[in-house]
Amino acid sequence: MTKKKLLFFTTTLAAGGAEKVLLNTVRALKDEYDITVVVFLNRGVYVDDIKRLCGYEYIYNIKSKSKLVQRLGFSLLIRWQKLFSPSRLYKKYIKGGYDIEIAFLEGIPGRVLSGSNNNNKYAWIHTDLITNNRSIREYRTFGEEKLCNKKFKKVVGVSSDVTKKFIKKLGISKEKTATILNILDEAEIISKSKEPVSIEIDKKFFNIVAIGRLSKIKGYDRLINAVAQLTSQDKGSLRLNIIGDGHERANLVDMIKKFGLKDIVSLHGFMNNPYPTLTQSDLLVCSSYTEGLSTVAIEAIILGVPILSTDCSGMKDILGDSKYGMIVENSEAGILAGLKAMIEEKGVFAKYKKRALERGDFFRKDARVKEIKKIIDGEAR
Protein backbone atom coordinates (compact mmCIF):
# COMPACT_ATOMS: atom_id res chain seq x y z
CA MET A 1 0.00 0.00 0.00
CA THR A 2 1.40 3.38 -1.00
CA LYS A 3 1.96 5.73 1.88
CA LYS A 4 0.35 9.15 1.83
CA LYS A 5 2.83 11.95 1.25
CA LEU A 6 2.83 14.24 4.27
CA LEU A 7 4.48 17.68 4.35
CA PHE A 8 5.40 19.54 7.51
CA PHE A 9 6.45 23.15 6.88
CA THR A 10 7.99 25.12 9.74
CA THR A 11 10.25 28.11 10.29
CA THR A 12 13.43 26.60 11.77
CA LEU A 13 14.43 23.60 13.89
CA ALA A 14 15.77 25.72 16.74
CA ALA A 15 15.82 24.58 20.38
CA GLY A 16 12.20 25.39 21.14
CA GLY A 17 9.20 23.46 22.38
CA ALA A 18 7.33 23.46 19.06
CA GLU A 19 10.42 22.25 17.21
CA LYS A 20 10.90 19.41 19.67
CA VAL A 21 7.24 18.48 19.33
CA LEU A 22 7.67 18.36 15.54
CA LEU A 23 10.55 15.93 15.97
CA ASN A 24 8.39 13.75 18.24
CA THR A 25 5.48 13.93 15.79
CA VAL A 26 7.62 12.89 12.82
CA ARG A 27 9.09 10.04 14.82
CA ALA A 28 5.61 8.84 15.78
CA LEU A 29 4.19 9.00 12.22
CA LYS A 30 7.18 8.05 10.05
CA ASP A 31 6.23 4.38 9.61
CA GLU A 32 2.77 5.20 8.24
CA TYR A 33 3.45 8.26 6.07
CA ASP A 34 6.02 9.37 3.52
CA ILE A 35 7.11 12.51 5.40
CA THR A 36 9.06 15.55 4.25
CA VAL A 37 9.96 18.43 6.56
CA VAL A 38 10.60 21.77 4.85
CA VAL A 39 12.05 24.65 6.87
CA PHE A 40 12.10 28.31 5.91
CA LEU A 41 15.59 28.79 7.40
CA ASN A 42 18.17 26.01 7.60
CA ARG A 43 19.25 26.08 11.21
CA GLY A 44 18.55 24.46 14.55
CA VAL A 45 19.62 21.73 16.93
CA TYR A 46 17.13 19.20 15.54
CA VAL A 47 18.18 19.29 11.87
CA ASP A 48 20.30 16.14 12.01
CA ASP A 49 17.62 14.27 13.98
CA ILE A 50 14.98 15.14 11.38
CA LYS A 51 17.28 14.14 8.50
CA ARG A 52 17.65 10.68 10.03
CA LEU A 53 13.88 10.22 10.15
CA CYS A 54 12.48 11.64 6.92
CA GLY A 55 13.04 13.87 3.90
CA TYR A 56 14.43 17.32 4.67
CA GLU A 57 14.50 20.49 2.57
CA TYR A 58 15.20 24.13 3.33
CA ILE A 59 14.37 27.40 1.60
CA TYR A 60 17.16 29.70 2.82
CA ASN A 61 20.54 29.15 4.41
CA ILE A 62 22.49 31.86 6.28
CA LYS A 63 26.03 30.51 6.41
CA SER A 64 27.48 33.01 8.88
CA LYS A 65 28.11 31.65 12.39
CA SER A 66 27.54 35.10 13.87
CA LYS A 67 24.27 35.14 15.82
CA LEU A 68 23.90 38.85 15.06
CA VAL A 69 24.22 38.24 11.32
CA GLN A 70 21.76 35.35 11.57
CA ARG A 71 19.20 37.50 13.40
CA LEU A 72 19.56 40.37 10.94
CA GLY A 73 19.38 38.02 7.96
CA PHE A 74 16.27 36.34 9.32
CA SER A 75 14.64 39.71 9.97
CA LEU A 76 15.31 40.76 6.37
CA LEU A 77 13.88 37.49 5.04
CA ILE A 78 10.70 38.01 7.07
CA ARG A 79 10.27 41.44 5.50
CA TRP A 80 11.18 40.22 2.01
CA GLN A 81 8.66 37.37 1.92
CA LYS A 82 5.83 39.84 2.64
CA LEU A 83 6.44 41.46 -0.75
CA PHE A 84 4.91 38.41 -2.45
CA SER A 85 1.50 36.75 -2.26
CA PRO A 86 1.09 33.42 -0.44
CA SER A 87 0.26 31.62 -3.71
CA ARG A 88 3.42 32.92 -5.36
CA LEU A 89 5.56 31.94 -2.37
CA TYR A 90 4.01 28.47 -2.31
CA LYS A 91 4.86 27.90 -5.98
CA LYS A 92 8.41 29.15 -5.37
CA TYR A 93 9.09 27.20 -2.16
CA ILE A 94 7.13 23.93 -2.22
CA LYS A 95 8.17 21.41 -4.85
CA GLY A 96 6.45 18.11 -5.50
CA GLY A 97 2.91 17.06 -4.68
CA TYR A 98 1.67 16.12 -1.23
CA ASP A 99 -1.51 14.41 -0.06
CA ILE A 100 -1.49 16.31 3.23
CA GLU A 101 0.17 19.64 4.07
CA ILE A 102 0.68 20.95 7.61
CA ALA A 103 1.91 24.40 8.58
CA PHE A 104 3.39 23.42 11.93
CA LEU A 105 4.00 26.93 13.25
CA GLU A 106 2.27 30.30 13.15
CA GLY A 107 3.52 33.02 10.81
CA ILE A 108 5.49 32.23 7.66
CA PRO A 109 4.50 28.51 7.46
CA GLY A 110 0.82 29.42 7.74
CA ARG A 111 1.11 32.29 5.26
CA VAL A 112 2.93 30.19 2.66
CA LEU A 113 0.75 27.06 2.86
CA SER A 114 -2.41 29.15 2.75
CA GLY A 115 -1.40 29.76 -0.88
CA SER A 116 -1.65 26.05 -1.71
CA ASN A 117 -4.51 24.67 -3.80
CA ASN A 118 -4.39 21.46 -1.75
CA ASN A 119 -7.74 20.98 0.01
CA ASN A 120 -6.10 18.85 2.70
CA LYS A 121 -4.01 21.50 4.42
CA TYR A 122 -3.91 22.13 8.15
CA ALA A 123 -2.35 24.67 10.49
CA TRP A 124 -0.97 24.05 13.99
CA ILE A 125 -1.05 26.92 16.52
CA HIS A 126 1.41 26.69 19.41
CA THR A 127 0.89 30.02 21.16
CA ASP A 128 -1.75 32.23 22.75
CA LEU A 129 -2.45 34.69 19.94
CA ILE A 130 -4.01 37.24 22.30
CA THR A 131 -1.10 37.60 24.73
CA ASN A 132 1.64 36.66 22.26
CA ASN A 133 0.64 37.30 18.64
CA ARG A 134 4.22 37.25 17.39
CA SER A 135 3.09 35.86 14.03
CA ILE A 136 1.51 39.17 13.00
CA ARG A 137 4.94 40.51 12.02
CA GLU A 138 5.12 37.83 9.31
CA TYR A 139 1.90 38.95 7.60
CA ARG A 140 1.27 42.17 5.72
CA THR A 141 -1.71 43.05 7.91
CA PHE A 142 -3.93 41.53 10.57
CA GLY A 143 -6.58 41.18 7.88
CA GLU A 144 -4.23 39.05 5.80
CA GLU A 145 -3.51 36.83 8.80
CA LYS A 146 -7.24 36.22 9.27
CA LEU A 147 -7.76 35.50 5.56
CA CYS A 148 -4.83 33.07 5.35
CA ASN A 149 -5.97 31.06 8.39
CA LYS A 150 -9.49 30.74 6.97
CA LYS A 151 -8.07 28.87 3.97
CA PHE A 152 -7.05 25.83 6.04
CA LYS A 153 -9.35 22.85 6.29
CA LYS A 154 -8.73 22.72 10.01
CA VAL A 155 -6.68 24.76 12.47
CA VAL A 156 -5.32 22.77 15.44
CA GLY A 157 -4.51 24.40 18.77
CA VAL A 158 -2.11 22.63 21.11
CA SER A 159 -4.23 23.42 24.17
CA SER A 160 -7.85 24.33 24.82
CA ASP A 161 -6.88 27.90 25.74
CA VAL A 162 -4.82 28.29 22.55
CA THR A 163 -7.79 27.14 20.46
CA LYS A 164 -10.29 29.39 22.25
CA LYS A 165 -8.08 32.45 21.93
CA PHE A 166 -7.34 31.68 18.27
CA ILE A 167 -11.09 31.67 17.60
CA LYS A 168 -11.56 34.90 19.53
CA LYS A 169 -8.63 36.69 17.91
CA LEU A 170 -9.12 35.67 14.29
CA GLY A 171 -12.83 34.99 14.12
CA ILE A 172 -12.48 31.45 12.73
CA SER A 173 -15.54 29.25 13.27
CA LYS A 174 -15.28 26.69 16.04
CA GLU A 175 -16.14 23.91 13.56
CA LYS A 176 -12.91 24.59 11.65
CA THR A 177 -10.74 24.12 14.75
CA ALA A 178 -9.60 21.26 16.95
CA THR A 179 -7.43 20.80 20.02
CA ILE A 180 -4.70 18.16 20.13
CA LEU A 181 -2.14 18.13 22.91
CA ASN A 182 1.48 17.73 21.83
CA ILE A 183 2.99 14.33 21.15
CA LEU A 184 5.69 13.27 23.56
CA ASP A 185 7.35 9.87 23.70
CA GLU A 186 7.02 8.89 27.36
CA ALA A 187 9.18 5.76 26.96
CA GLU A 188 12.06 7.78 25.49
CA ILE A 189 11.78 10.45 28.20
CA ILE A 190 11.86 7.86 30.97
CA SER A 191 14.77 6.00 29.34
CA LYS A 192 16.85 9.16 28.85
CA SER A 193 16.15 10.28 32.42
CA LYS A 194 18.17 7.29 33.62
CA GLU A 195 21.37 8.45 31.94
CA PRO A 196 24.13 10.04 34.08
CA VAL A 197 23.38 13.52 35.41
CA SER A 198 25.59 16.16 33.77
CA ILE A 199 24.78 18.78 36.41
CA GLU A 200 25.79 18.10 40.00
CA ILE A 201 22.66 18.03 42.18
CA ASP A 202 23.33 18.46 45.90
CA LYS A 203 20.44 16.81 47.72
CA LYS A 204 20.95 18.81 50.90
CA PHE A 205 19.34 21.75 49.07
CA PHE A 206 15.85 22.20 47.68
CA ASN A 207 16.64 21.98 43.97
CA ILE A 208 14.54 23.99 41.52
CA VAL A 209 14.92 23.62 37.76
CA ALA A 210 13.62 25.76 34.89
CA ILE A 211 14.02 24.60 31.28
CA GLY A 212 13.48 26.58 28.09
CA ARG A 213 14.75 29.23 25.74
CA LEU A 214 16.23 32.29 27.48
CA SER A 215 13.74 34.83 26.19
CA LYS A 216 11.78 37.55 27.97
CA ILE A 217 8.53 35.69 27.52
CA LYS A 218 9.78 32.88 29.77
CA GLY A 219 9.91 35.24 32.76
CA TYR A 220 13.23 34.02 34.16
CA ASP A 221 13.88 37.54 35.48
CA ARG A 222 10.80 37.15 37.69
CA LEU A 223 11.97 33.74 38.88
CA ILE A 224 15.43 35.04 39.77
CA ASN A 225 13.89 38.01 41.59
CA ALA A 226 11.70 35.64 43.59
CA VAL A 227 14.67 33.43 44.47
CA ALA A 228 16.63 36.53 45.54
CA GLN A 229 13.81 37.50 47.89
CA LEU A 230 13.59 34.00 49.35
CA THR A 231 17.30 33.79 50.03
CA SER A 232 17.38 37.30 51.56
CA GLN A 233 14.60 36.22 53.92
CA ASP A 234 16.48 33.00 54.75
CA LYS A 235 13.52 30.86 53.74
CA GLY A 236 15.46 27.65 53.40
CA SER A 237 18.45 26.53 51.42
CA LEU A 238 17.71 26.22 47.73
CA ARG A 239 19.40 26.04 44.35
CA LEU A 240 18.07 27.08 40.95
CA ASN A 241 19.35 25.51 37.73
CA ILE A 242 18.23 27.14 34.46
CA ILE A 243 18.73 25.03 31.35
CA GLY A 244 18.51 26.75 27.98
CA ASP A 245 20.10 29.44 25.84
CA GLY A 246 18.92 32.61 24.15
CA HIS A 247 19.04 36.38 23.82
CA GLU A 248 18.38 37.06 27.52
CA ARG A 249 21.44 35.23 28.81
CA ALA A 250 23.56 38.38 29.35
CA ASN A 251 20.73 40.10 31.23
CA LEU A 252 20.22 37.09 33.48
CA VAL A 253 23.96 36.88 34.18
CA ASP A 254 23.87 40.54 35.24
CA MET A 255 20.93 39.86 37.57
CA ILE A 256 22.71 36.93 39.19
CA LYS A 257 25.76 39.14 39.84
CA LYS A 258 23.63 42.04 41.07
CA PHE A 259 21.84 39.93 43.69
CA GLY A 260 24.94 37.94 44.69
CA LEU A 261 23.39 34.65 43.60
CA LYS A 262 26.32 33.02 41.81
CA ASP A 263 26.35 30.12 44.29
CA ILE A 264 22.58 29.74 44.16
CA VAL A 265 21.50 30.29 40.52
CA SER A 266 23.30 28.59 37.64
CA LEU A 267 22.80 28.98 33.88
CA HIS A 268 23.72 25.78 32.05
CA GLY A 269 22.94 26.53 28.41
CA PHE A 270 21.10 24.20 26.04
CA MET A 271 21.21 20.48 26.83
CA ASN A 272 20.18 17.69 24.45
CA ASN A 273 19.12 15.59 27.41
CA PRO A 274 17.89 17.60 30.41
CA TYR A 275 15.85 14.70 31.80
CA PRO A 276 18.42 13.33 34.30
CA THR A 277 18.65 16.80 35.84
CA LEU A 278 14.88 17.24 35.73
CA THR A 279 14.18 13.93 37.45
CA GLN A 280 16.81 14.64 40.14
CA SER A 281 15.27 18.04 40.91
CA ASP A 282 12.65 18.68 43.56
CA LEU A 283 10.56 21.12 41.57
CA LEU A 284 10.10 22.38 38.00
CA VAL A 285 9.10 26.03 37.74
CA CYS A 286 7.43 27.52 34.67
CA SER A 287 7.63 31.31 35.15
CA SER A 288 6.36 32.24 31.68
CA TYR A 289 4.25 35.27 30.86
CA THR A 290 2.55 33.17 28.19
CA GLU A 291 2.72 29.65 26.75
CA GLY A 292 0.85 27.57 24.21
CA LEU A 293 1.34 24.18 25.80
CA SER A 294 4.47 23.71 27.90
CA THR A 295 6.39 20.67 26.66
CA VAL A 296 8.69 20.63 29.66
CA ALA A 297 5.73 20.67 32.06
CA ILE A 298 4.38 17.50 30.44
CA GLU A 299 7.85 15.95 30.58
CA ALA A 300 8.05 16.74 34.29
CA ILE A 301 4.64 15.13 34.88
CA ILE A 302 5.75 11.99 32.99
CA LEU A 303 8.80 11.83 35.28
CA GLY A 304 6.78 12.50 38.43
CA VAL A 305 8.40 15.86 39.18
CA PRO A 306 6.14 18.42 40.95
CA ILE A 307 5.37 21.61 39.03
CA LEU A 308 4.84 25.24 39.96
CA SER A 309 3.56 27.32 37.06
CA THR A 310 2.17 30.73 36.35
CA ASP A 311 -1.39 30.79 35.05
CA CYS A 312 -0.88 30.69 31.28
CA SER A 313 -2.40 28.85 28.33
CA GLY A 314 -2.20 25.08 28.46
CA MET A 315 -1.50 24.70 32.14
CA LYS A 316 -5.04 23.68 33.07
CA ASP A 317 -4.92 21.04 30.30
CA ILE A 318 -1.78 19.66 31.94
CA LEU A 319 -2.41 20.24 35.64
CA GLY A 320 -6.18 20.61 35.96
CA ASP A 321 -7.25 23.48 38.20
CA SER A 322 -4.12 23.14 40.38
CA LYS A 323 -5.03 19.48 41.01
CA TYR A 324 -1.84 17.92 39.63
CA GLY A 325 0.49 20.91 40.03
CA MET A 326 0.37 24.37 41.55
CA ILE A 327 -0.86 27.14 39.22
CA VAL A 328 -0.25 30.62 40.61
CA GLU A 329 -1.04 34.19 39.63
CA ASN A 330 0.95 35.21 36.55
CA SER A 331 3.21 37.65 38.40
CA GLU A 332 6.42 37.79 40.37
CA ALA A 333 4.36 37.87 43.58
CA GLY A 334 2.54 34.72 42.46
CA ILE A 335 5.80 32.90 41.78
CA LEU A 336 7.22 33.97 45.16
CA ALA A 337 4.11 32.86 47.06
CA GLY A 338 4.12 29.51 45.26
CA LEU A 339 7.79 28.88 46.02
CA LYS A 340 7.25 29.68 49.69
CA ALA A 341 4.36 27.21 49.87
CA MET A 342 6.31 24.45 48.11
CA ILE A 343 9.41 24.92 50.26
CA GLU A 344 7.88 25.66 53.65
CA GLU A 345 4.70 23.57 53.62
CA LYS A 346 5.88 19.97 53.36
CA GLY A 347 2.32 18.67 53.04
CA VAL A 348 1.80 20.83 49.94
CA PHE A 349 4.97 19.59 48.26
CA ALA A 350 4.22 15.95 49.14
CA LYS A 351 0.70 16.29 47.70
CA TYR A 352 1.96 17.58 44.36
CA LYS A 353 4.72 14.98 44.24
CA LYS A 354 2.10 12.23 44.56
CA ARG A 355 -0.31 13.78 42.07
CA ALA A 356 2.37 14.35 39.44
CA LEU A 357 2.98 10.61 39.41
CA GLU A 358 -0.76 9.96 39.10
CA ARG A 359 -1.11 12.29 36.10
CA GLY A 360 1.63 10.73 33.95
CA ASP A 361 -0.57 8.13 32.22
CA PHE A 362 -2.76 10.85 30.70
CA PHE A 363 0.04 11.89 28.33
CA ARG A 364 0.71 8.61 26.61
CA LYS A 365 1.86 9.04 23.00
CA ASP A 366 -0.63 6.59 21.48
CA ALA A 367 -3.64 8.76 22.37
CA ARG A 368 -2.17 11.84 20.67
CA VAL A 369 -1.19 9.88 17.53
CA LYS A 370 -4.76 8.58 17.17
CA GLU A 371 -6.11 12.13 17.43
CA ILE A 372 -3.82 13.44 14.69
CA LYS A 373 -4.53 10.51 12.38
CA LYS A 374 -8.26 10.91 12.90
CA ILE A 375 -8.03 14.47 11.55
CA ILE A 376 -5.59 14.08 8.67
CA ASP A 377 -6.74 10.60 7.54
CA GLY A 378 -10.41 11.12 8.22
CA GLU A 379 -10.44 14.30 6.14
CA ALA A 380 -7.75 13.60 3.53
CA ARG A 381 -10.11 11.96 1.07
Instruction: Provide the 8-state DSSP code for 51.
Output: H
pTM for the full predicted model:
0.79
Burial class (CB in 10 A: 0-12, 13-18, 19+), 288: buried
**Tens digit of each residue's pLDDT (9 = 90 or more) over 201-243:** 889 999 999 999 999 999 999 999 999 999 877 655 899 999 9
Per-residue pLDDT, 135: 76
Q: How far apart are CA 57 and CA 356, in angstroms?
A: 39
Could you give the residue ranges of the DSSP H alpha helices within the chain?
17-29, 47-53, 67-81, 86-93, 108-113, 142-150, 160-170, 186-192, 220-232, 249-258, 275-280, 295-302, 315-319, 332-344, 346-359, 365-379
**Tens digit of each residue's pLDDT (9 = 90 or more) over 241-291:** 999 999 999 999 999 999 999 999 999 999 989 999 999 999 999 999 999
**Tens digit of each residue's pLDDT (9 = 90 or more) over 103-151:** 999 999 999 999 999 999 999 999 888 888 777 889 999 999 999 999 9
Beta carbons of 347 and 316 less than 8 angstroms apart: no
The residue extents of the domains of the chain are: 4-180, 187-363
Q: In CATH, which superfamily holds the domain spanning 187-363?
A: Glycogen Phosphorylase B; (3.40.50.2000)
Judge if 4-180 and 187-363 fold alike in CATH terms. yes
Amino acid found at 318: I
The top-level CATH class assigned to 4-180 is alpha beta
**Tens digit of each residue's pLDDT (9 = 90 or more) over 350-365:** 999 999 988 888 888 8
